[in-house]
Chains A and B, each alone.
Chain A
């Protein structure tokens, strides 16, 4: 990990593809280049480095030739594996109502994760009134209303239905909402943009169940209801339900976690998280939406005119740089990999561009395949930081041609009080000393703004 080596090894023939040190994405294909992983390097704050050298005596006791864990048998097998104790800082960040512990959200640590699949224990949470511990023997799904047959489905019965798997993201409509604020949040990425996660879900296509009950001609909407203390209800267009929605029973290969809807939840790919009703127990077919509290008072976006957008439903394309991370240091100039996530509720990510000079020039990033519609896509960009101020941005274009907007454009169209559906390009300022901060504009005072964790969702 000697950084000198990194810079020395840069082939002379390698020309930047955009301003401020962005290099050709094909660089990753070349052999013999060592990249410093920003996630690990950048999160080591100076205080931690100091501590590490204090403890170097202790380090010396560990024989590098035959360390202690090679001198004794390891731990036995386990029924259910847990992460290494050295990774105990990789956690969700709950932000809950002080009076009601189960009212609020917990943020997924996107800045500490790699790849595109969110581990089940780190999937973001949004609960209105806690996580119910549902006994599956006492949980049934009722489908009723504008149908030929009103039917109950037990879990045991549902386990006998044909299933399919689909990898897709779920993003809360309120994700990134602190970015509507006047000052840019300085929280590590996940703790201000981590109400989004991506899993491989397995379940029964809703269309299978809807064809069994026989949907009447007049039906246009499904009203789904959860079996938690909030008994939340939400309206979903029938068209979407018949298209790609499912009743999910498994998440990343195992049965759903309680906080993700055990024993079953709706999956409404690419649409607002709140529609993916957890703990679902009842679906009413209707000719109209119910006009629930969470589709009128909340999850609607107030415009400057005083009118509100309602039933926005689809999540627009968004990309975020997950490394480097705001409020951490890049240790020193050298060759780095900028990486991040991109997704779109409309389908596939077509391309992600990265800029290191505040959007003056852009270069296309490499995308890890396969690219799955309505799922996280990981992008990567080689970058040689020369130690001068830089402004990093990422911008996604999806397969429909939709381009992620700059913040100015989004705010000009929507104002700042819409609260939901924030998807603008994010800017990270890199200072000469390597300190990285989230800013809205290059000229923003990097020290202004919200240093705390955002309590809203």
Chain B
């Protein structure tokens, strides 16, 4: 069935006389309509300015640093209004204070119990928070508030100064708590 569908697709494309190159990835071949090649080259600086993805292996973490203590005061002024004191009890979701773990009748999914990577916390805070003024924190402030949230979740101690090296030393409790369904399906299909 799958192959039939593919063939129909390829046929449809050839009817349109748009057959271009055939790109080979590891295990599939695709027929691709060719475009007019109008993309404009981006300079390394332009790309760097827009690249804010932080990967779980630390790629993308910027220079800069911030401490738990500094993070506490940023949290009081910029986050507490929605997330509550100590990360609990605000209008937005709890960021700390889980007592129940992930099993049982009332599992609590928070940074401390569920999140597999500290890099995600940096990436997300920098791109999306605070909701009313996203993009307003500089890298030092993001490191600081990340440090504070890790502290509130009992993952690091009060003296931590977070930077791109120390952040990679943080081990999240639930790092092994995930089953990659996509990879699983791929293995099965092989």
Contacts and interface: CB of A to CB of B under 8 A. Distances in A.
A99 B55 CA distance: 31
Nearest to B125: A293
Interface in B20-72: 20-21, 23, 25, 27-28, 30, 32-42, 46-47, 50-57
A153 B39 contact: yes
B109 interface: yes
A207 B23 contact: yes
A159 to B, nearest CB: 10
A292 B37 CA distance: 31
Contacts of A97: 91-92
Contact of B117 (A231, A233, A242, A296): A296
A304 B104 CA distance: 7
A347 interface: yes
Contacts of B177: 306-308
A286 B32 contact: no
A296 B120 contact: yes
Interface stretch (A13-21, A82-90, A141-149): A141-149
A382 to B, nearest CB: 30
B110 to A, nearest CB: 8
Given A142-B50, A213-B39, A237-B182, A293 B123 contact: yes
B134 interface: yes
B103 A162 contact: no
Contacts of B179: 303, 307-310
A402 interface: no
Given A144-B51, A151-B41, A296-B117, A312 B32 contact: no
A208 B34 contact: yes
Chain B, interface residues (CB within 8 Å), range: 35 or more
Interface string A122-166: 000000110000000000001110000111111001101110100
Contact of A142 (B23, B33, B42, B120): B42
Nearest to B12: A164
A185 to B, nearest CB: 20
B21 A211 contact: yes
Interface residues of A, number: 74
Contacts of B34: 162, 208, 211
B181 A290 contact: no
* Of B23, B47, B53, B115, most A-chain CB atoms within 10 Å: B53
A36 interface: no
A223 interface: yes
Given A205-B33, A233-B127, A291-B117, A307 B178 contact: yes
A99 B82 contact: yes
Interface in B75-121: 82, 91-92, 101-103, 107, 109, 111, 114-117, 119-121
Contact of A129 (B102, B114, B134): B134
A53 interface: no
A312 B40 contact: no
Interface in B124-144: 124, 127-128, 131-132, 134-135
Contacts of A223: 53
24 contacts: A129-B128, A152-B40, A160-B36, A164-B33, A207-B32, A207-B33, A212-B35, A212-B37, A225-B53, A229-B131, A239-B28, A242-B23, A242-B30, A286-B55, A290-B53, A291-B120, A292-B124, A296-B115, A302-B102, A306-B102, A306-B103, A306-B107, A311-B183, A399-B1
Interface of A: 97-100, 103, 128-129, 142-144, 149-154, 157-158, 160-162, 164, 204-205, 207-213, 215, 223, 225, 229-233, 237-239, 242-244, 282, 284, 286, 288, 290-293, 296-297, 300, 302-314, 347, 373, 399-400, 417
Given A103-B131, A151-B40, A296-B116, 10 more contacts: A97-B91, A149-B41, A157-B40, A231-B127, A237-B182, A293-B123, A296-B115, A302-B114, A303-B179, A309-B181
Interface of B: 1-2, 5, 9, 16, 18, 20-21, 23, 25, 27-28, 30, 32-42, 46-47, 50-57, 82, 91-92, 101-103, 107, 109, 111, 114-117, 119-121, 123-124, 127-128, 131-132, 134-135, 177-183, 185
